[in-house]
Chain A
């Protein structure tokens, strides 16, 4: 597999973590209901995250002649290489660079989408999405609603790399997903691995609603998996149980899942059986899967990189408490980033690390 090749790079994270994702995904996604159209037996290749996203974009542009990819620096392939080869293959009328104006990029994308096109706008880093926040929340989310369904910008997908990368500092590491989860009318999707990313991205592009697709930049090169080469989609608004357990439910998304997985393994040594759920779609999120799991285990722990106060974990916690109050054996735990701006040199202290999660698992189980 590509694991040994990346073994050197991922010393801290542990190479073995990738195998569970790969096997569990391929077994569970073949049973993914109503939309999971993975056909087994066709060719697949070992790809990393940016290559999988690149493939998804190739397929999206191939299958719909009125789809476009644009953003800053996408022509030469983008700063993370996600858009390589697109301009050469599909021409610069469909894959083009925009000037440096995020608000303009997204607004422009809304216009394209409103006229029935599929617009895939790239925001170079999620930290830069804020000038476009107005267009996304005030226009994209409300377009269908306020025009009485005469117009909609469902063809709009906004892709942005998010999350910590080890040395990003204040403006190359933020996780702004919570801001967008607060805007009804939008969908927010976050993949955890290459196979997921390709399927989810194709679903997002083809979904008739505007979607913000956050890609964990830490995993662009690090996460490698066997990805089917054909066109397939994974269902939105369906969470996935990637590790079964009986004592505590852990919920997360994106790059944080690999950290949580390590914590689960260590907890297992102490006899705690953890169930790990990848939410995949944050808005609208799959409450039923999480509820079913909490009903089984009676405990919940949520972890994300964004600051804890008013992060998306708060929404999950509140909803689950509403639904499972009498079943819960312990308060819902949230292991998240601290309530400070994303620091530069203090990043290791800020992040919700494996140890913090482990401590929280133990104190929740021993409540």
Chain B
């Protein structure tokens, strides 16, 4: 095996302008509680004060990054970040994500969908920004907030909606549900209900891609893996273990932290000793980047660089995207804990509105084009719902399938038919 261990620290990315922000100097005062002992960090009263502080500082950091990007733009005035086609593609993907999630909410309240459903509204820029730069063979590993990741990766909206309805035509044949979207064709390695569980899986997938390239000499195998997870996960042991492995073996993986500040009801600032997650990258020997996750163009720029690095075999990157979820943690969450001012602040930075503004201001497309996209997406989502509605529920026999590799070892009875089609299925002790 010709893997090189990371004997040299990877160079920071060009866009890592956060190194220039003064935030770290201000941080200690940010986190000390205003009253009570500092035994375990901030008290609840700290929240409004710290929030505006943190927002201010976050804003200043974001301005720092965006200035660098803006500079680039101004320098070559005719050199916009995206072409018309790209712009419309990004717009369409984000609108698909948003419309789909809104439709999910409607369907849930109508009882067509059940279980725990977690919506992605507000975070579309991260999914679109990263995944639209990937190839079909690249792998994506997500969390329970995985509908939009799957859609961006290319899984048809019909299949995702069917899966949510629990129908047999869903991408996992109805067995996974909202939190477990898998797709072999589009290399979506799941939907994980358990936070942090997907990161080691992504690390393994990245290893196999590197192995194929370097050991099995498939020179064209430059597939990268994207692992998406949240701010809460950045305090979990599995995350750190994988940062170490990925940097040690220089794996083609990008760790994308969707920092939306809240883990159900736990504020990131109150749960983390150093809330600046991107800093954890250099500690393990990989570059760490912080980017404004509400701006799809900035995310895309960072993603280009990070994916490029991974494809060239230069190793992993940790990208922290500052983003926000407009809805509660799940559809069962009343969302009472978040400060309305905070919500309003981020609602004003809606990624779809921002991209629309950019497209129109730079004359990349007309209002008509964008309206046409909205109409198209509405049709796609409606069609997905109809398809899901009309699809059949999985047969009962599916309950016992796929527990092991060999269905005979489990799901098929002595007479050759599935055990649960046996009329005596509910009798006795329901042994299988």
Q: Is A324's beta carbon under 8 Å from chain B?
A: no
A288–B118 Cα gap in the complex (Å)? 48
- A interface footprint on B152-194 (CB within 8 Å = 1, 0 otherwise): 0000000000000010000000111101100000000000011
The B contact surface, by secondary structure, is: loop
Q: Is B58's beta carbon under 8 Å from chain A?
A: no
Residues of A within 8 A of B394 (CB): 345-346
A75–B43 Cα gap in the complex (Å)? 10
For this complex, 14 residue pairs linking A to B, each with C-beta atoms less than 8 Å apart, are A72-B263, A79-B264, A93-B37, A93-B39, A98-B271, A100-B271, A127-B193, A171-B179, A336-B429, A339-B403, A339-B432, A343-B175, A345-B166, A346-B394
A343 in contact with B180 given A103-B237, A352-B430 (CB within 8 Å): no
The A contact surface, by secondary structure, is: loop
Q: Is B272's beta carbon under 8 Å from chain A?
A: yes
A138–B370 Cα gap in the complex (Å)? 59
> Which of chain B's residues has its CB closest to A103's CB?
B237
Q: How many residues of B are in contact with the other chain, CB < 8 A?
A: 50
A121 to chain B minimum Cβ distance, whole angstroms, is 15
Q: Is B427's beta carbon under 8 Å from chain A?
A: yes
- B interface footprint on A341-367 (CB within 8 Å = 1, 0 otherwise): 101111001101101100110010000
Q: A: which residues have CB within 8 A of B?
A: 72-73, 75-76, 79, 87, 91-93, 96-101, 103-104, 127-128, 131, 167-172, 308, 333-336, 338-341, 343-346, 349-350, 352-353, 355-356, 359-360, 363
Q: Say which one of B20-28, B201-209, B228-236 lies at the interface with A.
A: B228-236
Q: Which among A99, A333, A346, A359 is the interface contact of B272 at CB below 8 angstroms?
A: A99
Question: Contact: B44 with A338, CB < 8 Å?
Answer: no
Question: Contact: A344 with B265, CB < 8 Å?
Answer: no
Q: B: which residues have CB within 8 A of A?
A: 36-37, 39-40, 43-44, 114-116, 166, 174-177, 179-180, 193-196, 232-233, 235-238, 263-266, 270-272, 337, 393-394, 396, 398-400, 403, 410, 420, 426-432
Question: Contact: B399 with A349, CB < 8 Å?
Answer: yes
> Which of chain B's residues has its CB closest to A307's CB?
B432
Q: A76-B265, A98-B271, A168-B115 are in contact. List 8 more A-B contacts (CB 8 A).
A: A93-B37, A99-B236, A167-B114, A169-B193, A339-B403, A339-B410, A345-B166, A353-B426
Question: Contact: A169 with B179, CB < 8 Å?
Answer: yes
Total A-B residue contacts, Cβ distance less than 8 Å: 129
A333–B431 Cα gap in the complex (Å)? 10
Q: Which among B114, B195, B403 is the interface contact of A100 at CB below 8 angstroms?
A: B195
Q: Which among B37, B40, B115 is the interface contact of A167 at CB below 8 angstroms?
A: B115
> Which of chain B's residues has its CB closest to A308's CB?
B431
Residues of B within 8 A of A96 (CB): 40
Question: Contact: B233 with A100, CB < 8 Å?
Answer: yes
Question: Contact: A359 with B175, CB < 8 Å?
Answer: no
Question: Contact: A344 with B431, CB < 8 Å?
Answer: no
Question: Contact: A338 with B235, CB < 8 Å?
Answer: no
A352 to chain B minimum Cβ distance, whole angstroms, is 7
Question: Contact: B430 with A336, CB < 8 Å?
Answer: yes
Question: Contact: B115 with A338, CB < 8 Å?
Answer: no
